[in-house]
Every structure is written in C-alpha cells, then in structure tokens.
C-alpha cells in the first residue's frame, strides 16, 4: 500500500511542485459559459398567438426560445380566425389563391420543440411552412376541419393587422 501511495505522490509531483499545484496547472480553465452544452436549435415559424406581443408567447420563452426575425410566408397560405380561447389564427397552405402572411421565426432547443408539440391542442398542428425566402421551417398550421365557420382573414396579411382592425362595419 505504501508503494502505491508513493507512486501516486511522485506522479503528482512536478519539479518540486505539490500534487495540487500540478493539478491546478494542468487543468484547463473552464468558464461557466463553456460548461453548458447547448442543444441543437431549430427554427419555428409563428403567425398568431405565439407572436412576440401575444398571449401565448411566454410558452416559447419558457422553452428557451429566442426571437430570430420577422418575415412572411411564401404566397400560397390562407389565414382564418378560429373561435378558440385565447383567440388564435389557423394557417393553412392552399397553393393557388393564397397569400403571403406575416410571420416571426423563433429559434428554440430541439427538445423544446418536442415539448411544444406534445402539448399542442387540436386543431393546431406543426408542419413545414415555406417562408418568403424559399426555406421551409417547422411552424404552426391548422387542421383543415377546424376551418368550418372560421372567418377568412387572409386579406389582413397577418394576425396583428387583423387584431388592429376596426370592428365597426
């Protein structure tokens, strides 16, 4: 046993330094930022209640999301006002006859997107949304069956513009 302790002591001694000094000298400095390993991030397109100034935005923030940019969808989408609580829009891709809709792109950890999907109530869904620049990112869409009786608000160009409308005829 003494032999093993002696071998360890001599291995930890470097030109007269104590073992703890040698360990400190050899251990790289690790800052708090480098200790955290960031998970891969994904982009998420939002067009309604998750927009930066809307009631469901705190859900994104609680998942570690951060705002990336404002853009629009590619032409080919329609936006409907669903009668949900809180009120939210339903985005559907129709191709011909659709329009570009205002959108925000958020970045969030991949596991956050999974948690968001698991908690997503019907008729909302996540699917590929084509943006104005031609890229496709996951985004909020609506099941087509939920559009029966919903107001088509595509002409407003986005959820915020619809909310700012003058409701008087």
Specify the pairing of strand 66-72 against strand 41-46.
Answer: unpaired
* CA dist 15 → 7, 11, 12, 21, 164 (Å): 15, 11, 10, 11, 75
Contact 130, 62 (CB under 8 A): no
The pLDDT of residue 36? 55
The pLDDT of residue 33? 45
* CA dist 34 → 28, 38, 164 (Å): 11, 9, 45
Nearest CA to 94 out of 79, 84, 83 is that of 79
Per-residue pLDDT of the chain (169 residues; tens, 9 = 90+): 444 444 444 444 444 444 443 333 333 333 344 445 567 999 999 999 999 999 999 999 999 999 999 999 999 999 999 988 777 899 999 999 999 999 999 999 999 999 999 999 999 999 999 999 999 999 999 999 999 889 999 999 999 999 998 775 5
CA dihedral 124, 125, 130, 132 (to 10 degrees): 30
The pLDDT of residue 158? 98
- Specify the residue for token string 């939920």: 146
The pLDDT of residue 10? 43
N-to-C CA span, the chain: 93
Nearest CA to 73 out of 136, 146, 9 is that of 136
Cite the residue boundaries of each domain of the chain with CATH code 3.10.490.10.
Answer: 40-164
The pLDDT of residue 2? 47
Question: Does 3.10.490.10 match the CATH number of domain 40-164?
Answer: yes
């Amino acid at each position: 046993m003494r032999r093993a302790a002696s071998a360890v002591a001599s291995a930890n001694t470097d030109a007269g330094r104590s073992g703890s000094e040698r360990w400190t000298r050899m251990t790289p400095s690790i800052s708090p930022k480098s200790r955290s390993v960031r998970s891969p991030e994904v982009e998420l397109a939002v067009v309604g209640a998750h927009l930066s100034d809307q009631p469901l935005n705190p859900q994104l923030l609680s998942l570690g999301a951060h705002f990336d940019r404002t853009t629009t969808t590619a032409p080919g989408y329609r936006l409907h006002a669903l009668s949900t609580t809180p009120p939210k829009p339903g985005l559907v891709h129709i191709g011909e006859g659709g329009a570009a809709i205002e959108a925000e792109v958020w970045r969030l950890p991949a596991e956050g997107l999974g948690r968001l999907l698991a908690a997503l109530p019907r008729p909302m869904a996540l699917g590929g949304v084509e943006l104005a620049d031609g890229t496709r990112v996951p985004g909020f869409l609506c099941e087509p069956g939920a559009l029966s009786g919903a107001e088509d608000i595509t002409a407003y160009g986005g959820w915020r513009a619809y909310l700012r409308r003058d409701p008087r005829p």
